[in-house]
Amino acid sequence: MLEQVPVKPRSIKDYKGIVDDELIDEVYFYAKKITDLRILHINATKFGGGVAEILNNYIPLLQDLWVGTVWQTIIADDRLFEVTKAFHNGLQGKKSLIGHDQKRTYERFNAYNAQLLEGDWDIVVVHDPQPLAIPYYLENNQTKWLWRCHIDASDADTAVWDYLNPFLKEFDGAIFSLESFIPDNFPIKKRFIVHPAIDPLSEKNKKIEPNLAASIIKSHGLDKNNPIITQVSRFDPWKDPLGVIEAYRIAKKRIPKLQLALIGSMATDDPESWKIYQQIINISKHDKNIFVFTNLGDLDINAFQGYSDLVLQKSIKEGFGLTVSEAMWKENLVIGGDTGGIRLQIIDGETGFLVNSIEECGEKIIEILSSPKSKEKIVVKAKEHVRKDFLIPRLLRDELKIYTELLEK
């Protein structure tokens, strides 16, 4: 059997008063249509990164609505994840050479996981490339297969697409985060667009008092009396942590007491993160104002996102970037890379700022920290933008709607 991930129960009722009532009504409306369904979500890891974050928040809400939903992760190790990280990078536009051995590894792990799949499911949602080939190794049955792509694949390397193409043909539908992410000649005909979302009631995003946040930040060695900028991200080249350090160095020339917190997780399906972590440590070890953390708890992240003076998400490519909405929801100002899903969340100058280079990022940090009052209006607007569009009940509504549509025919 694949590994079943336990989740903490949640109730959709608790979101009343946070999101609009009509949205909650719509959630119930679509859930009622499919109460008896058995839905399985499969991904690569139960920890680290946005997919695990979303599933952790989303699955218990589906269960609360009596939609029989289960979350399972594949059985795999670094042999597969080395290959699938190369796929991930290829889908994001990096030229990739996928050799014969890598293909064999991918196919063997997927065939093995297909054998481990148990139970009868009405819908199986497969997240990202790691488990994508599973349906290829199964007999045709009544199950509807959905591929959920969280990656900006608009500029994908053709070698990776060509290789994945026969596996993709097994799917009945695909969900992307943005229309523009769908590559040319994508083989799945039914396509849906769903923006990701954050959970306002999770430990990471719930409201915490300034005193508690200050004591958490202090306990990690930072001085709350001097400015703090933070980026929370997997240690991944696309998140540009090294660019963040350079931007910090530009700003530090004008703001000598500036501190930088780089908070990164080591997702089990991302073997590249240790290499990037080592690079970060090498270039930052002589600066006592750069703080690098791995795998902090959700409450710690909550404190840093809410009570740093500024939050960065300086990605070069980004499927969505939950961390942007997480900080905006806490009424903090975010400077984000001008790319992919970050553009949905940050309307430049209105709900945050978009930057296209390290220099621009450094200058923006200086500008914002030099006039903290200027951020007051922006953060209020940013929070409302998240409330309306990027909270989990909206995601739930959108996906329930897709499930009903998929089964209608």
Crossing angle of helices 322-329 and 298-307, rounded to 10°: 70
Tell me the residue nearest to ligand UDP as measured from the CB: 50
Q: How far apart are the C-alpha atoms of 242 and 265, rounded to whole Å?
A: 16
User: Distances in Å between the alpha carbon of 12 and those of 53, 218, 292, 345?
Assistant: 17, 35, 36, 24
Contact range with ligand UDP by CB under 6 A, out of 30-38, 114-122, 319-327, 380-388:
319-327
353 binds ligand UDP (CB under 6 A): no
334 binds ligand UDP (CB under 6 A): no
Contact range with ligand UDP by CB under 6 A, out of 5-13, 139-147, 318-326, 377-385:
318-326
Amino acid at 364: K
157 binds ligand UDP (CB under 6 A): no
93 binds ligand UDP (CB under 6 A): no
Contact range with ligand UDP by CB under 6 A, out of 48-56, 70-78, 174-182, 378-386:
48-56
Contact at 8 Å (CB) between 255 and 34? no
Q: What are the phi and psi torsion angles at 300 (to 5°)?
A: -60, -45
Question: How many H helices and E strands in the chain?
Answer: 14, 13
Contact at 8 Å (CB) between 202 and 297? no
Contact range with ligand UDP by CB under 6 A, out of 98-106, 108-116, 262-270, 272-280:
262-270
Q: How far apart are the C-alpha atoms of 187 and 169, rounded to whole Å?
A: 6
State the nearest-atom distance from the C-beta of 48 to ligand UDP, in Å: 7
Residue of 263, 327, 391, 395 that binds ligand UDP (CB under 6 A): 263
Amino acid at 242: L
The size of the interface with ligand UDP (CB under 6 A), counted in residues, is 17
Q: How far apart are the C-alpha atoms of 157 and 219, rounded to whole Å?
A: 44
State the nearest-atom distance from the C-beta of 244 to ligand UDP, in Å: 13
Residue with smaller CB distance to ligand UDP, 150 or 252: 150
Residue of 130, 177, 323, 351 that binds ligand UDP (CB under 6 A): 323
Crossing angle of helices 210-219 and 298-307, rounded to 10°: 110
Q: How far apart are the C-alpha atoms of 221 and 101, rounded to whole Å?
A: 46
In the DSSP assignment, the letter for residue 46 is S
Comparing CA positions, the residue from 169, 156, 198 lying closest to residue 57 is 198
Residue 125 pairs in a beta bridge with 41, 146
Residue of 89, 233, 308, 345 that binds ligand UDP (CB under 6 A): 233
Site string for ligand UDP, 287-316 (x = CB under 6 A): ---------x----x---------------
Residues 185-204 within binding reach of ligand UDP (CB under 6 A): 204
Largest CA distance in the chain: 64
Q: How far apart are the C-alpha atoms of 97 and 276, rounded to whole Å?
A: 21
Contact range with ligand UDP by CB under 6 A, out of 19-27, 119-127, 161-169, 260-268:
260-268
Contact range with ligand UDP by CB under 6 A, out of 58-66, 85-93, 156-164, 317-325:
317-325
Residue of 53, 269, 309, 398 that binds ligand UDP (CB under 6 A): 53
Residue with smaller CB distance to ligand UDP, 49 or 352: 49
49 binds ligand UDP (CB under 6 A): yes
> Which residues contact ligand UDP (rule: CB under 6 A)?
49-50, 53, 204, 232-234, 263-265, 296, 301, 320-323, 326
